Amino acid sequence: MPSPVSTIPNLGPATEAAFAKAGITSAEQLRDLGADEAYRLWLMAGHPPHFIGYYALVMGLQGRPWNDCQGDEKKALRARFDALKAGTNAKGRSEMEAALSFFGVVERR
């Protein structure tokens, strides 16, 4: 039986519901995807980016408290977060998906 997303440290019911909207419905699935791919799917589902939420996810997947992220590690995670944000547009679509939508190849949001 799959474990709820909220069994991962730092992640509660609201985060679990948001990940479900992104198609991530279990802690095992989230761990298999890893923080970056899971957060990319979060953004693609239209959820707003939030740096603290991102690094809380990273720390949680490592079994660490969210506020354990500091110094150079936090700077490196900020760069990863910014890269993830840059790969999606304001509506949570990747540049490729936005282009395909423009040409009518994928459903418009």
Q: 39: which 2 tokens?
A: 């957060």
Of 42, 53, 46, which is closest to residue 12 (Cα–Cα)? 53
Quick check: is 108 in a domain?
Answer: no
Q: To 10 degrees, what angle do helices 71-86 and 51-61 make?
A: 120
Quick check: is 109 in a domain?
Answer: no
Q: In the chain, how many domains are there?
A: 1
pLDDT of 59 reads 97
Quick check: is 39 in a domain?
Answer: yes
Quick check: is 38 in a domain?
Answer: yes
Residue 64: count other Cβ atoms within 10 Å of its Cβ.
14
Quick check: is 107 in a domain?
Answer: no
Quick check: is 31 in a domain?
Answer: yes
pLDDT digits (tens, 9 = 90+) for 30-82: 999 999 999 999 999 988 999 999 999 999 999 999 999 999 999 999 999 99
Burial of 14 (0-12, 13-18, 19+ CB in 10 A): exposed
pLDDT of 17 reads 95
Find the mean pLDDT for residues 84-88.
Answer: 86
Backbone angles phi, psi at 53, to 5 degrees: -60, -40
Distance CA 107, CA 109 (A): 7
pLDDT of 88 reads 76
pLDDT band, very low/low/confident/very high, at 97 (cuts 50, 70, 90): low
Whichever domain contains 31, its CATH number is 1.10.150.20
pLDDT of 95 reads 59
Distance CA 86, CA 59 (A): 22
Give residue 78's domain range: 5-102
pLDDT of 87 reads 83
The overall average pLDDT reported for the chain is: 88
Task: Pick the range with the lowest mean pLDDT from 9-13, 58-62, 84-88.
Answer: 84-88
34: left (phi over 0), alpha (psi -120 to 50) or beta: left
